[in-house]
């Protein structure tokens, strides 16, 4: 497996030289790629066919095909942890491992029972990071009202108090999601929920002994090969399944599986997740972008930017490569965003007239003419600007601000699965190019360990 620095690749040097000729260029060359359910239009990127050829060459020199094959073969590609990243197995349908099928069947049985018997009036999901962001996003997007499902991540007791407000503790099901069953914030909230009168607890964990010691009523397993930020497809998504229903959750898994097959089978020039990753490399490493905006034009996806922040910045926010060497080049940008039309009245002023050109992803679900028109208009305005000398300086826009648009015909659970899997594979592609281990997160541990020391010292 190739673990050399990308900066040593011939294509990297050629891209640097080629980028110098593109810095003043305006977007406008028609570029489109298609994956199941989605059309990627990247015509407004500051890129040309030569740059795309060199990016494909760079991917080949970095061993992209071999790394992708290793990912799908379940090899231990997270070297620092000695782990595989097999989250695709969680949505593989008939091809899924037996343990995945049996757990999914148990999830379905429990979910149907909970939603039909009406014993529980409310469900509280206790988790943080990947045990919260993905399930919260799915439930917020497609919760059908069949069960009142709420999410608590913060150690600030106010979030739990608000989640339990108006609830009968004896009619509240608490789902504790922690792979290790030692996550400080989650256990703090679990103990508080018990003190507040909640009696029924389920656990989603890879440490059943600790869960039993706590006294849970039901255990759903997750496995060592499921990373937290890739776990919404697993039993960590049980609360989301209860919120949206079994049928919708199966559609969610099926959509992701379709994107997996597209990513694994398609050549890089037609591969939507890989292209999105390479466009990011072009903008970050060769055009100097340090941030990336994500703008879903749908209220159902208002939580998508938060999910993406963890996915991208926890995966690739690193400054040493697979061999422990300082990288010497930029890696993950700062990811931010919000639902489209509110963002237009907020930070998008910076996107149009700020001193930094911030690439953006516009996500258009054709929900109505107004939303689609605004998505298209914002992308076009960023690209073309207004440079007329007849305008006063404060009304001029430089343009040349790159963006891509992901266009979907509908917003449903299947397309949400496709979208989340698409971004997962984009992140993996960039990790391969940058020679990063995208599946560890040692930077998260330092502050948590220091907090433990501070708490011990205060006793």
Pairing of strands 200-205, 172-177: parallel
Q: Which two tokens stand for residue 15?
A: 């891209």
In whole angstroms, how far apart are CA 440 and each of 80, 130, 177, 184, 311?
7, 13, 19, 19, 11
Kindly report the number of other CB atoms within 10 A of residue 377's CB atom.
11
374 contacts: CB under 8 Å, gap ≥ 6? 297, 340, 341, 344
Q: How many residues does the chain have?
A: 459
Known catalytic membership, residue 61: no
From the list 121, 232, 209, 214, the residue with the least C-alpha distance to 176 is: 214
The residue from 345, 389, 453, 459 that is catalytic is 345
Residue 167 CA to residue 148 CA, distance in Å, equals 10
| Residue 181: closest CA among 156, 221, 208, 216 | 208
- What six digits make up the tokens of 383? 């690209």
Q: Is 425 a catalytic residue?
A: no
CA-to-CA dists, residue 337 to 201, 402, 411, angstroms: 35, 15, 19
Give the SS3 label for residue 35. strand
Torsion of CA 443, 445, 447, 450, to 10 degrees: -140
Active site residue 448: yes
Residue 297 is classified by DSSP as S
Give percent helix, percent strand, percent coil of the chain, each to the nearest 5. 55, 15, 35
**Cβ atoms 237, 111 nearer than 8 A:** no
Biggest CA–CA distance in the chain, Å, is 74
What is the pairing mode between strands 291-296 and 360-364?
Answer: parallel
193-to-11, 176, 180, 185 alpha-carbon distances in Å = 56, 10, 19, 12
C-alpha angle 83/85/89, rounded to 5°? 130
Q: Which of the residues 185, 258, 314, 339 is marked catalytic?
A: 314
Using the 8-state DSSP alphabet, how is residue 391 labeled? S
Other CB atoms within 10 A of residue 393 CB: 6
Which residues have a catalytic role annotated?
Answer: 314, 345, 448
């Amino acid at each position: 497996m190739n673990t050399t620095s990308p900066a040593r690749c011939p294509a990297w040097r050629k891209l640097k030289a080629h980028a110098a000729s593109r810095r003043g260029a305006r977007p406008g060359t028609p570029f489109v790629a298609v994956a199941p359910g989605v059309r990627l239009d990247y015509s407004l990127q500051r890129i040309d066919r030569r740059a795309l050829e060199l990016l494909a060459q760079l991917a080949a020199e970095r061993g992209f095909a071999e790394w992708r094959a290793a990912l799908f073969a379940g090899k231990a590609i997270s070297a620092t942890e000695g782990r595989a990243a097999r989250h695709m197995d969680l949505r593989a349908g008939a091809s899924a491992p037996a343990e995945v099928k049996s757990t999914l069947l148990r999830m379905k049985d429990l979910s149907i029972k909970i939603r039909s018997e009406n014993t529980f009036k409310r469900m509280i999901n206790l988790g943080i990071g990947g045990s919260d962001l993905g399930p919260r996003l799915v439930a917020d997007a497609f919760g059908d009202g069949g069960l009142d499902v709420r999410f608590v991540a913060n150690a600030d007791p106010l979030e739990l108090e608000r989640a339990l407000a108006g609830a009968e503790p004896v009619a509240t099901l608490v789902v504790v999601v922690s792979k290790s069953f030692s996550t400080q914030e989650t256990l703090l909230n679990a103990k508080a929920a018990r003190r507040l009168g909640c009696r029924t607890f389920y656990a989603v964990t890879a440490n059943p002994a600790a869960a039993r010691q706590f006294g849970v009523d039901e255990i759903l397993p997750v496995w060592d090969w499921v990373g937290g930020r890739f776990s919404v497809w697993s039993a960590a998504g049980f609360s989301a399944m209860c919120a949206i229903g079994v049928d919708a959750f199966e559609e969610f898994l099926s959509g992701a599986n379709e994107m997996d097959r597209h990513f694994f089978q398609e050549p890089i020039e037609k591969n939507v997740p890989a292209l999105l990753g390479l466009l990011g490399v072009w903008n970050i490493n060769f055009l100097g972008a340090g941030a990336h905006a994500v703008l879903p034009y749908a209220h159902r996806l208002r939580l998508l930017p938060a999910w993406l922040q963890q996915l991208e910045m926890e995966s690739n926010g690193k400054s040493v490569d697979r061999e422990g060497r300082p990288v010497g080049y930029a890696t993950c940008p700062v990811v931010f965003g919000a639902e489209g039309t509110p963002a237009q009245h907020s930070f998008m002023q910076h996107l149009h007239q700020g001193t930094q050109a911030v690439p953006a992803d516009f996500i258009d679900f054709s929900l109505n003419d107004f939303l689609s028109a605004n998505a298209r208009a914002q992308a076009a305005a960023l690209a073309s600007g207004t440079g007329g000398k007849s305008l006063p300086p404060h009304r001029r826009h430089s343009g040349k601000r790159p963006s891509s648009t992901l266009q979907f015909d509908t917003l449903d659970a299947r397309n949400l699965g496709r979208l989340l899997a698409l971004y997962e594979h984009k992140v993996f592609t960039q990790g391969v190019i940058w020679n990063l281990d995208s599946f560890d997160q040692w930077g998260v541990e330092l502050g948590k360990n220091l907090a433990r020391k501070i708490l011990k010292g205060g006793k």
